[in-house]
């Protein structure tokens, strides 16, 4: 390590000597607002044919560039809350130093709301983006982006690191506007140091098309964009951690990031058995047609113990970005992770209407290995032409070993017990390419846009399932049980591909209005084979149950065309778009077996309104409304017209199903007196589903054989609707020393199913059940942060879950959960920190109410120059009460309890190193004397 330090210092010395040996010119200037006040922290860029420099203005509003080579150059100034300023300059003949008179930056008139604290503009809302300044967040040295997010009003980070903003999950992260590790949220928030962040943006992102053309269509996703302070865009960052503890717990992580003016390289590594996954592989990434991103699985936080089971993780990743020029840029990443999870479950099921209950205990081992590679290529061909290409590749390998033992009671008498062992293996390579081209045809707004995508995946799965069941005589429990043995061998190959293209042409009518004509084409194609063989202990075929032995093949596709036109208008107060589109769809294919075949051919035509509206009451409040509609094809299981039987459950698809069509309406309202630290946000969403695919369930018992289930599908004739709401009120007092956040919402879901309990029941004998579910959620959080050295966060969460059904026997007990929490930390000395996370859950309404009291705590000692080293002793779940309890409601009411990472102690050492060309970020602990009097609580 010393040798490396000497080499590094020597290189820096040589570079500095080389720099001082150069000759160049000097440019100096000053920034002022319209009231002649200096503007600090503004980003100032100097660009010429020979130069590319960037810096931030000083507290006095001064900026200074040395070693300028060119005689002609451009200065561009941008600052939070002000209009961007840009102007060309030229050195007077024979002069080596140039002083530019004060720039006067105009306030951005499009701001909806802003907050100014201690002279720093900290919050502004512009269109679909809420932007926070990272200044003044009162963070400790060593804090990461996740810690900064927890300080923002309207943003919530749970113990697993999942981020929600304004009631919606954040699904993608970008750094300086570009995807970081495929948009994986927690990969960035848990590793990026907070002291290099300049701004944090929460964006309602409608995809590249909306970003380029300004025309928003479809549904948005919440995107987190982290802007690095320009001062720290050139340098090194390193974080290394090693830990070991009781119960054989361990963790080793490493993060190295190198940033230069045009290049950024990040390397991450993770090895642990603390349920701390590093990457999310549930999707491939954004691409050029607005795909959903990561953020779904728990990450590596200090108290992240809420993942089910115990997981051992090995992961490594590389993220690279290089700007070959201002016009040509490439960025991408490679991620690998292997997770080995062991989960113990205890399940209680109540079969509604059958007077039957089941208790199950299971042990599941799942090993997942995932690879993901993606690249983004951006090329600004000219000021009017832009191209983006995104190739992606992924590979998943999944192995599962599950053993489940269960006991079924009918009329309170033992009916049967069984042991089910399942072994499965699957592999899934997939690749994708997407791209777009945008052409600005004039400066008035005439624009042409086209994008495309092609995805291909092949999933191969084999299953070996063994069922051993003992069935008892309910009339004579002493009679020896009859035994049933069945082994199922299944091989499945699912080939699928989908592609599509979107075109948009925009023609301006006036300075404030324009029309847009759009066309979308999408196709999804499925080519699958499914073979299954059921045998007894002697390997003889079992033919008694239909659908146990089969060899099916099916090939079908779902195609949609959508053509529409809309009129758009925008002025200082109102922005709206009105129009309509037609969407014909075709569901076509065939399925066949050795003895049967079926043809699928369904056509539909949907009329889709286009409507968006936004009204600005003032710079501090606005109301918006949007509508979207889309068609969804049935799944393979729902449409395959053959019998498939596993574990006495037979499923038969329906080739005559129509696609579902979903209408969605959303209202948003923002308001508040933000100069006084007040903020209010509310959203209301409603969804109406036509032709909803619903299940037809037939359950019955056969003496001496067990419980049988037959599942069919149909389109529901009555519309299905769901409604959800969310609201948040925040108040900051005394320069963010006191923060109050009150948030909540109500969700209503309607579901329809058809039920029968007679083995001879016909379609006319099924009973329709309408299930209504209402969830009320209320949260109150307080935060007291008088300085970087003390933080106290009390809070309480309340959830009320109410369910009722049109069939009285399906009514379920209401569930109430009250969970008070207390999270805090304090500096005992300048370099010693104590922290605790205490929570208590009060549950009522479950079959087995569990009310865990969870206490996590740590003490940390920092040392070395700049507090680079930290030794931390952590205690997790000190009372050893960690459990996971969930309820699902339907034809079967299910309560599930699973194991989690329980009590253990961990000793960790963390080393952080930062080195930047323009200086290392100063930590709060070195800026403030420790003996400064603390505010009274």
> Which CATH number do you get for residue 141?
2.170.130
State the pLDDT confidence band at 928, using cuts at 50, 70 and 90: very low
Whether 426 is in a domain gets the answer: no
State the pLDDT confidence band at 847, using cuts at 50, 70 and 90: low
Cβ(646)–Cβ(95) below 8 Å = no
Whether 514 is in a domain gets the answer: no
Whether 36 is in a domain gets the answer: yes
- The CA distance from 910 to 860, in Å, is 10
- Location of structure tokens 């000053």: 30
Whether 503 is in a domain gets the answer: no
Q: Are 154 and 260 part of one and the same domain?
A: yes
Of the candidate ranges 206-210, 469-473, 644-648, the one whose mean pLDDT is the lowest:
206-210
Is beta strand 163-165 parallel, antiparallel or unpaired with respect to 25-33?
Answer: unpaired
Which pair of tokens denotes residue 840? 């208590």
- The CA distance from 912 to 240, in Å, is 7
For 726-747, the pLDDT digits (tens) are 998 888 887 778 889 899 999 9
Burial, 919: exposed, middle or buried (Cβ in 10 Å; 0-12, 13-18, 19+)?
exposed
Task: Say what percent of the chain tops pLDDT 90.
Answer: 36
Whether 864 is in a domain gets the answer: yes
Among residues 105, 136, 152, the one where a domain terminates is 105
State the pLDDT confidence band at 237, using cuts at 50, 70 and 90: confident
Cβ(314)–Cβ(273) below 8 Å = no
Q: What is the mean pLDDT of residues 807-827?
A: 89
Q: Are 148 and 228 part of one and the same domain?
A: yes
Angle at 247 between CA 402 and CA 316, to 5 degrees: 70
Q: Are 131 and 101 part of one and the same domain?
A: no
Q: Are 77 and 172 part of one and the same domain?
A: no
Q: What is the mean pLDDT of residues 413-433?
A: 90
Q: What is the mean pLDDT of residues 271-282?
A: 85
- In this model, does residue 691 exceed pLDDT 50? yes
- The CA distance from 376 to 395, in Å, is 19
Q: Strand order of the sheet with strand 25-33?
A: 62-68, 25-33, 97-105
Angle at 836 between CA 833 and CA 838, to 5 degrees: 170
State the pLDDT confidence band at 117, using cuts at 50, 70 and 90: very low
Predicted pLDDT at 135: 76
Whether 858 is in a domain gets the answer: yes
Q: Are 63 and 148 part of one and the same domain?
A: no
Q: Are 40 and 147 part of one and the same domain?
A: no
Predicted pLDDT at 118: 44
Which pair of tokens denotes residue 83? 């209009």
State the pLDDT confidence band at 240, using cuts at 50, 70 and 90: very high
For 501-512, the pLDDT digits (tens) are 999 999 999 989
Predicted pLDDT at 13: 41
Among residues 264, 289, 314, the one where a domain terminates is 289
Task: Say what percent of the chain tops pLDDT 70.
Answer: 86
- In this model, does residue 892 exceed pLDDT 50? yes
Better-scored residue on pLDDT, 362 or 48: 362
Q: What is the mean pLDDT of residues 45-72?
A: 82
Q: Strand order of the sheet with strand 72-78?
A: 52-56, 43-47, 72-78, 85-90
Q: What is the mean pLDDT of residues 487-503?
A: 91
Q: Are 178 and 268 part of one and the same domain?
A: yes
Distances (CA, A) of 642 to 127, 496, 551: 51, 20, 10
Q: Are 186 and 92 part of one and the same domain?
A: no
For 295-339, the pLDDT digits (tens) are 333 333 333 445 788 999 999 999 999 999 888 999 999 999 999
- In this model, does residue 15 exceed pLDDT 70? no
Predicted pLDDT at 2: 45
Predicted pLDDT at 704: 62
CATH for 67: 2.60.40.10
- Three-state helix/strand/coil letters over 742-809: EEEEEEEEEEEEEEECCCCCCHHHCEEEEEEEEEEEEEEEEEEEEECCEEEEEEEEEEEEEEEECCHH
Better-scored residue on pLDDT, 887 or 541: 541
What is the overall mean pLDDT for the chain?
83
Of the candidate ranges 484-493, 699-708, 928-937, the one whose mean pLDDT is the lowest:
928-937
Is beta strand 853-863 parallel, antiparallel or unpaired with respect to 842-844?
Answer: unpaired
- The secondary structure of 339-407 as a DSSP string is EEEEEEEEEEEEETTTTEEEEEEEEEEEEEEEEEEEEEEEEE-SSSEEEEEEEEEEEEEEEEEEEEEEE
Better-scored residue on pLDDT, 882 or 503: 503
Helix (H), strand (E) at residue 714: strand 706-715
Q: Which of the given ranges, 117-131, 148-162, 573-587, has the highest pLDDT on average?
A: 573-587
State the pLDDT confidence band at 122, using cuts at 50, 70 and 90: low
Beta bridge partners of 524: 498, 558
The candidate with the shortest Cα–Cα distance to 408, out of 419, 416, 400, is 416
Whether 200 is in a domain gets the answer: yes
Q: Are 240 and 190 part of one and the same domain?
A: yes
State the pLDDT confidence band at 111, using cuts at 50, 70 and 90: very low
State the pLDDT confidence band at 19, using cuts at 50, 70 and 90: very low
- The CA distance from 837 to 556, in Å, is 53
Mention every residue, 6+ apart, whose C-beta is less than 8 A from residue 936. Answer: none
Cβ(159)–Cβ(276) below 8 Å = no
Q: What is the mean pLDDT of residues 690-697?
A: 92
How far the first Cα of the chain sits from its last, in Å, is: 45
Q: Are 128 and 75 part of one and the same domain?
A: no
Better-scored residue on pLDDT, 332 or 594: 332
Cβ(556)–Cβ(587) below 8 Å = yes
- In this model, does residue 884 exceed pLDDT 80? no
Q: Are 133 and 100 part of one and the same domain?
A: no
Find the domain containing 842 and state its range: 813-919
Predicted pLDDT at 298: 30
**What total of structural domains would you count in the chain?**
3
State the pLDDT confidence band at 12, using cuts at 50, 70 and 90: very low
Is beta strand 263-272 parallel, antiparallel or unpaired with respect to 693-702?
Answer: unpaired
Of the candidate ranges 131-145, 828-842, 852-866, the one whose mean pLDDT is the lowest:
131-145
Predicted pLDDT at 499: 95
Mention every residue, 6+ apart, whose C-beta is less than 8 A from residue 729. Answer: 678, 679, 680, 741, 742, 743
Cβ(602)–Cβ(658) below 8 Å = yes
Q: Are 90 and 170 part of one and the same domain?
A: no
Better-scored residue on pLDDT, 471 or 921: 471
Rg (CA), the chain: 31
Of the candidate ranges 409-418, 528-537, 766-775, 902-911, the one whose mean pLDDT is the lowest:
409-418
Mention every residue, 6+ apart, whose C-beta is less than 8 A from residue 531. Answer: 490, 491, 492, 550, 551, 552
- The CA distance from 428 to 440, in Å, is 40
Whether 383 is in a domain gets the answer: no
Among residues 263, 289, 315, the one where a domain terminates is 289
State the pLDDT confidence band at 148, using cuts at 50, 70 and 90: confident
Q: Report helix, strand or coil for 453.
A: strand
- The CA distance from 270 to 298, in Å, is 14
Predicted pLDDT at 463: 92
The candidate with the shortest Cα–Cα distance to 564, out of 581, 552, 579, is 581
Q: Which of the given ranges, 11-15, 40-44, 846-850, 855-859, has the highest pLDDT on average?
A: 855-859
Burial, 604: exposed, middle or buried (Cβ in 10 Å; 0-12, 13-18, 19+)?
middle
């Amino acid at each position: 390590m010393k040798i490396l330090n000497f080499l590094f210092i020597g290189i820096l010395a040589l570079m500095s000597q080389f720099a001082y040996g150069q000759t160049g010119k000097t440019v100096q200037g000053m920034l002022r607002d319209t009231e002649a006040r200096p503007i600090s922290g503004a980003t100032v860029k100097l660009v010429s044919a020979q130069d590319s420099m960037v810096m931030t203005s000083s507290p006095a509003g001064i900026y200074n560039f040395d070693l300028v080579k060119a005689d002609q150059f451009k200065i561009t100034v941008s600052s939070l809350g002000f209009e961007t300023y840009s102007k060309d300059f030229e050195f007077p003949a024979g002069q080596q130093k140039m002083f530019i008179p004060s720039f006067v930056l105009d306030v951005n008139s499009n701001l909806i709301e802003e907050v100014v604290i201690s002279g720093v503009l900290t919050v502004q809302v512009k269109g679909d983006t809420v932007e926070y300044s990272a200044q003044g967040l009162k963070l400790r040295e060593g804090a990461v982006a996740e810690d900064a997010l927890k300080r923002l009003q309207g943003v919530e980070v749970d113990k697993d690191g999942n981020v929600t903003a304004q009631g919606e999950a954040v699904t993608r992260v970008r750094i300086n506007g570009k995807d970081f590790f495929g948009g994986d949220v927690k990969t960035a928030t848990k590793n990026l140091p907070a002291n290099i962040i300049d701004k944090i943006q929460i964006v309602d992102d409608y995809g590249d098309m909306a970003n380029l053309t300004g025309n928003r269509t479809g549904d948005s996703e919440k995107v987190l964009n982290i802007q690095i302070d320009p001062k720290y865009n050139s340098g090194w960052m390193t974080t290394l951690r090693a830990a070991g503890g009781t119960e054989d717990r361990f963790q080793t992580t490493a993060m190295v990031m190198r940033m230069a003016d045009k290049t950024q390289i990040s390397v991450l590594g993770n090895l642990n058995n603390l349920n701390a996954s590093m990457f999310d592989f549930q999707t491939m990434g954004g691409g050029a047609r607005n795909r959903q991103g990561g953020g779904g699985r728990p990450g590596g936080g200090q108290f992240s113990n809420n993942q089910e089971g115990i997981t051992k993780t090995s992961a490594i990743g590389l993220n690279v970005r290089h700007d070959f020029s201002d016009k040509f840029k490439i960025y991408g990443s490679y991620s690998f992770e292997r997770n080995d999870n062991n989960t113990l479950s205890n399940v209680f099921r109540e079969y509604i209407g059958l007077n039957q209950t089941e208790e199950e205990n299971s042990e599941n081992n799942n090993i997942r290995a995932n690879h993901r590679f993606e690249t983004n290529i951006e090329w600004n061909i000219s000021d009017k032409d832009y191209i983006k290409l995104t190739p992606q590749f992924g590979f998943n390998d999944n192995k599962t070993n599950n053993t489940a033992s269960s006991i079924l009671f009918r009329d309170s008498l033992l009916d049967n017990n069984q042991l089910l062992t399942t072994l499965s293996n699957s592999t899934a390579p997939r690749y994708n390419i997407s791209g777009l081209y945008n052409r600005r045809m004039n400066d008035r707004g005439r624009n042409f846009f086209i994008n495309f995508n092609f995805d291909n995946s092949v999933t191969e799965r084999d299953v070996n399932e063994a069922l051993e069941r003992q069935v008892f005589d309910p009339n004579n429990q002493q009679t020896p049980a009859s035994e049933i043995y069945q082994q199922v061998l299944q091989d499945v190959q699912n080939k699928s591909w989908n592609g599509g293209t979107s075109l948009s042409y925009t023609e301006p009518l006036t300075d404030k209005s324009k029309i847009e004509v759009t066309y979308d084409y999408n196709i999804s194609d499925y080519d699958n084979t499914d073979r299954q063989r059921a045998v007894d202990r002697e390997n003889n075929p079992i033919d008694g149950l239909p659908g146990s032995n089969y060899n099916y093949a099916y090939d079908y596709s779902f195609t949609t065309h959508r053509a529409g036109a809309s009129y758009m208008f925008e002025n200082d107060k109102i922005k709206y778009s009105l129009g309509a589109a037609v969407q014909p769809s075709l569901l076509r294919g065939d399925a066949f077996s050795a003895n049967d075949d079926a043809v699928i051919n369904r056509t539909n035509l949907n009329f889709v309104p286009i409507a968006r509206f936004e009204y600005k009451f003032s710079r501090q409040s606005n109301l918006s409304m949007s509508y979207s509609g889309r068609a969804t094809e049935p799944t393979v299981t729902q449409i395959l017209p053959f019998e498939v039987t596993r574990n006495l459950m037979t499923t038969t698809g329906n080739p005559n199903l129509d696609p579902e069509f979903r209408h969605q309406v959303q209202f948003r309202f923002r308001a508040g007196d933000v100069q006084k630290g007040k903020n209010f946000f509310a959203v209301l969403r409603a969804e109406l589903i036509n032709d909803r695919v619903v299940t037809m369930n037939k359950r019955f018992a056969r003496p001496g054989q067990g419980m049988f289930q037959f599942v069919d599908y149909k389109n529901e004739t009555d519309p299905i609707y769901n409604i959800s709401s969310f609201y948040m009120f925040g108040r900051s007092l005394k320069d963010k020393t006191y923060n109050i956040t009150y948030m909540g919402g109500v969700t209503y879901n309607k579901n329809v199913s058809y039920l029968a309990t007679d083995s001879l029941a016909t379609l006319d004998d099924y009973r329709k059940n309408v299930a209504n579910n209402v969830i009320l959620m209320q949260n109150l959080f307080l935060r007291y942060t008088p300085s970087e050295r003390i933080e106290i966060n009390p809070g309480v969460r309340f959830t009320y879950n109410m369910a009722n059904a049109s069939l009285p026997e399906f009514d379920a007990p209401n569930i109430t959960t009250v969970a008070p929490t207390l999270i805090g930390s304090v500096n005992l000395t300048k370099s010693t920190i104590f922290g605790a996370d205490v929570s208590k859950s009060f549950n009522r309404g479950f079959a087995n109410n569990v009310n865990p009291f969870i206490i996590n705590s740590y003490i940390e000692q920092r040392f070395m120059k700049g507090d680079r080293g930290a030794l931390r002793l952590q205690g997790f779940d000190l009372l050893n009460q960690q459990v996971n309890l969930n309820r699902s409601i339907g034809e079967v009411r299910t309560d599930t309890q699973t194991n989690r990472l329980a009590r253990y102690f961990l000793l960790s050492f963390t080393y952080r190193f930062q080195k930047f060309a323009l200086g290392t970020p100063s930590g709060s602990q070195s800026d403030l004397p420790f003996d400064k009097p603390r505010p009274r609580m």
